[in-house]
Amino acid sequence: MATQHSRSAARIMMAPAVILLLGWMLVPLMMTLYFSFKKYLPLRGGDLGWVGFENYARFVSSSSFWPAVSATLMIVVGVLLITSILGVLLAILLDQPMWGQGIVRILVIAPFFVMPTVSALVWKNMFMDPVNGLLAHLWKFFGADPVAWLTEVPMGSIIMIVSWQWLPFATLILLTAIQSLDSEQLEASEMDGAPVLARFWYIVLPHLSRALTVVILIQTIFLLSIFAEIFVTTQGAFGTKTLSYLIFQRVLESQNVGLGSAGGVYAIILANIVALFLMRIVGKNLDT
């Protein structure tokens, strides 16, 4: 059906989206590349000339660089693990017959509508605060010492907050997938006397693999550049400084635009490595 005519029409129809995104990618990228080879200190007079790869060398040699890369990956992997596992369980649970299914579903998806800043503020102040937080009261109620979440388990706390925001998304996609599962197939296996676990492992999970791929892909894209949650909660202290946050420190706090731009280029490289890695799995799982 792909005639010559429709091919060229297709190209024209794709053009606006492709050109816009190309511009959105290239213009900042070019400017970032330009700044990254400059000594550019706005507070010291701005452009102080070309410096070659000095910014690149300095950014990597900083003692914060590798911890920042690993913090970024830890958050991504941590949140992905939690949301996928809990998401599958929750989707299965919500798929069961029950009373008030619609309302439960509303309750479960609600966190997805909450602004990241708001959710970080609420968790930080009203739940994780070691003196006035609700969790501290809960701990005290059971006779335990309140935990200072954001200083004692900073990474875990942030992963928890972010997972809370993304769990609904994962659950929704997985739920739609489960609902499309052929119930006859399940029933047949039920009659065969296949144990619950085996049914889950051999029928449900394979069926969910595409949905899981989508969840992983979309979340990774959003999680790689996570910023607001860290800005609000720990400001990058206690080993929660992600690459995004490190760049923020270089550009805005240290006012070293050249150095920060070099960091931006590294972040783009990291994103592309992850993207390549993702495309491998997605390519296998998502050939539509």
Partner 1 sequence: MAIKSALRAATALCLISAVSVQADTITIATVNNGDMIRMQGLTDDFTSKTGHTVEWVTLEENVLRQRVTTDITTKGGQFDIMTIGMYETPIWAANGWLVALDDLSADYDAGDILPAMAGGLSYDGTMFAAPFYGESSMIMYRTDLMEAAGLEMPTAPTWDFIKDAAVAMTDKDAGVYGICLRGKAGWGENMAFLTATSNAFGARWFDENWTPQFDSDAWSETLNFYIDLMNEAGPPGASNNGFNENLSLFQQGKCGMWIDATVAASFVTNPNDSTVFDKVGFALAPNTGKGKNSNWLWAWALGIPAGTDNEGAAKEFIEWATSKDYIELVAANEGWANVPPGARQSLYDNPEYQKVPFAQMTLDSILSADPNNPTVDPVPYVGVQFAAIPEFAGIASEVGQEFSAALAGQQTAAEALEKAQALTVDAMEAAGY
Partner 2 sequence: MARAVTTKRKSINTALAWAVGLLIFFPILWTVLTSFKTEAQAIADPPIFLGFDWTFENYSTVMERSNYMRFLWNSVIIAGGSTILGVIIAVPAAWSMAFVPSKRTKDILMWMLSTKMLPAVGVLYPIYLLFIRLGWLDSRVGLVIVLMLINLPIIVWMLYTYFKEIPGEILEAARMDGASLKEEILYVLTPMAVPGIASTLLLNVILAWNEAFWTLNLTAAKAAPLTAFIASYSSPEGLFYAKLSAASTMAIAPILILGWFSQKQLVRGLTFGAVK
Going by C-beta distance under 8 Å and a sequence separation of 6 or more, which residues neighbour residue 240?
Answer: 71, 154, 155, 158, 230, 233, 234
Task: Compute how many residues bind partner 1; rule: CB under 8 A.
Answer: 36
List the single partner that 150 binds among partner 2, partner 1, none, CB under 5 to 8 Å by kind. partner 1
Selection from partner 1, partner 2, none that 225 binds (CB < 5 to 8 A by kind) is: partner 2
Stretch in the footprint of partner 2 (CB under 8 A) among 53-61, 62-70, 147-155, 211-219: 211-219
Chosen residue from 41, 104, 147, 160 binding partner 2 by CB under 8 A: 104
Of residues 139-158, which lie at the interface with partner 2 (CB under 8 A)?
141
The Cα-based distances of 138 to 146, 147, 214 in angstroms read 8, 10, 37
Any bridge partners for residue 50, and if so which? 38
Residues 227-266 that bind partner 1 (CB under 8 A): 231, 234-239, 241, 249-250, 252-256, 259
Both tokens assigned to 199: 């049914």
Minimum CB–partner distance for residue 78 and partner 2 (Å): 18
- Per-residue contact string for residues 182-211; x = within reach of partner 1 by CB under 8 A: ------------------------------
The minimum distance between CB 77 and partner 2, in angstroms, equals 16
Q: How many CB atoms lie within 10 A of CB 205?
A: 12
- Cα distances (Å, whole numbers) of residue 176 to 42, 171, 179, 211: 51, 9, 5, 9
Classified as helix, coil or strand, 278 is helix
Which range binds partner 2 by CB under 8 A, 9-17, 43-51, 197-205, 233-241? 9-17
Contacting partner 2 within 44-63 (CB under 8 A): none
Query: Tokens 């040699």 belong to which residue?
Result: 61
The site partner of 146 among partner 1, partner 2, none (C-beta below 5 to 8 Å per kind) is partner 1
The entry of partner 1, partner 2, none near residue 269 (CB within 5 to 8 angstroms by kind) is none
DSSP 126-183: IIS-TTTSHHHHHHHHTTPPPP-HHHHSHHHHHHHHHHHHHHHHHHHHHHHHHHTS-H
Chosen residue from 64, 189, 209, 213 binding partner 1 by CB under 8 A:
64
Stretch 21-60: interaction string toward partner 1, x if CB under 8 A: --------------------xxxxx------------x--
Q: Residue 21 class from Cβ within 10 Å (0-12 exposed, 13-18 middle, 19+ buried)?
A: exposed
The residue count of the chain comes to 288
- The 8-class DSSP code of residue 202 comes to I
Q: Which amino acid is at 150?
A: L
Shortest spacing between CB 173 and partner 2, in angstroms: 6
Residue 14 binding partner 2, by CB under 8 A: yes
Query: Where does residue 256 fall: left (phi above 0), alpha (psi -120 to 50 degrees), or beta otherwise?
Result: beta
If contact means CB under 5 to 8 A according to the sort of partner, which of partner 1, partner 2, none does residue 241 touch?
A: partner 1
Q: Which of the listed partners (partner 1, partner 2, none) does 157 bind, with a CB threshold of 5 to 8 Å by partner kind?
A: none
Q: What is the contact surface with partner 1 in residues (CB under 8 A)?
A: 41-45, 58, 62-64, 129-132, 145-146, 148-152, 231, 234-239, 241, 249-250, 252-256, 259
